[in-house]
């Protein structure tokens, strides 16, 4: 029998992507959702922007963590323990914090009327490329790629604290790519789908090839914007 937290996780993923499609759809209710996203940077605008980033984080990051969640459940089953729901809750808490931070940054940019020009986008792409090949990225990615080792090292902490630690490690892997949503990828299904696939491949892969390839793509995009 499928554990309740897996049913809830799959339901959240499905609901998240359906909601993202609705937000982007050219229908009357999709337009309404987009209007919330495009509202002014006042309190209600901040709330809507936070909701947008929460939705994006859930839809994009939970799929990349499924192998780790499954590994935890395998270990828990052999020991006759549970905790899968607490693990997911701890993981989600970290990304909820990221969503709030991203919403605050996006609202601050809008409030300060900072133009998101080609130069701004290029700078963000270059920053993302630099982080892709940084030691911090490599260290976090190494832990994400070996969930069995991760859980064996931290099992005594309990599922919720392990979930928070796993979320922080995942954040260390992926925050720079997620931040690219600030330059026009926010609520773009194409951007979100591509970023989700790339982040998942990074965690499933071995060696530096995929992170370096993503860095090169970011630099190419920055070069195109600078030369345009």
One-letter-per-residue 3-state SS of 30-68: HHHHHHHHCCCCCHHHHHHHHHHHHHHHHHHHHHHHHHH
pLDDT computed for residue 28 by the predictor? 43
The domain in which residue 202 lies consists of 4-227
In this predicted model, what pLDDT tens digit does every residue of 111-133 receive, in sequence order? 776 656 677 888 889 999 999 99
Instruction: Please indicate, yes or no, whether the overall pTM of this predicted structure exceeds 0.85.
Output: no
In this predicted model, what pLDDT tens digit does every residue of 29-83 receive, in sequence order? 444 434 434 444 444 478 888 888 888 888 888 888 888 888 998 898 888 788 8
Rounded to whole angstroms, how far apart are CA atoms 10 and 136?
Answer: 30
Number of domains comprising the chain? 1
One-letter-per-residue 3-state SS of 98-166: HHHHHHHHHHHHHHCCCCCCHHHHHHHHHHHHHHHCCHHHHHHHHHHHCHHHHHHHHHHHCHHHHHHHH
């Amino acid at each position: 029998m499928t554990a309740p937290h897996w049913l809830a996780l799959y339901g959240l993923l499905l609901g998240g992507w359906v909601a993202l499609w609705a937000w982007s759809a050219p229908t009357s209710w999709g337009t309404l959702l987009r209007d919330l996203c495009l509202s002014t940077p006042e309190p209600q605008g901040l709330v809507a922007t936070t909701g947008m980033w929460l939705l994006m984080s859930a839809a994009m990051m939970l799929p990349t963590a499924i192998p780790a969640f499954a590994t935890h459940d395998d270990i828990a089953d052999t020991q006759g323990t549970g905790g899968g729901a607490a693990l997911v809750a701890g993981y989600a808490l970290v990304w909820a914090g990221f969503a709030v931070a991203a919403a605050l940054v996006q609202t601050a940019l809008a409030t300060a009327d900072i133009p998101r020009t080609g130069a701004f986008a290029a700078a963000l792409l270059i920053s993302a490329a630099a982080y892709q090949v940084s030691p911090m990225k490599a260290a976090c990615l190494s832990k994400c790629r070996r969930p069995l080792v991760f859980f064996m090292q931290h099992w005594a902490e309990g599922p919720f604290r392990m979930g928070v630690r796993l979320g922080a490690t995942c954040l260390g892997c992926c925050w720079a790519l997620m931040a690219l949503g600030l330059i026009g990828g926010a609520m773009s299904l194409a951007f979100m789908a591509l970023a989700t696939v790339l982040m998942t491949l990074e965690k499933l892969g071995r060696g530096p090839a995929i992170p370096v390839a993503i860095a090169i793509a970011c630099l190419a995009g920055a070069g195109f914007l600078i030369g345009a």
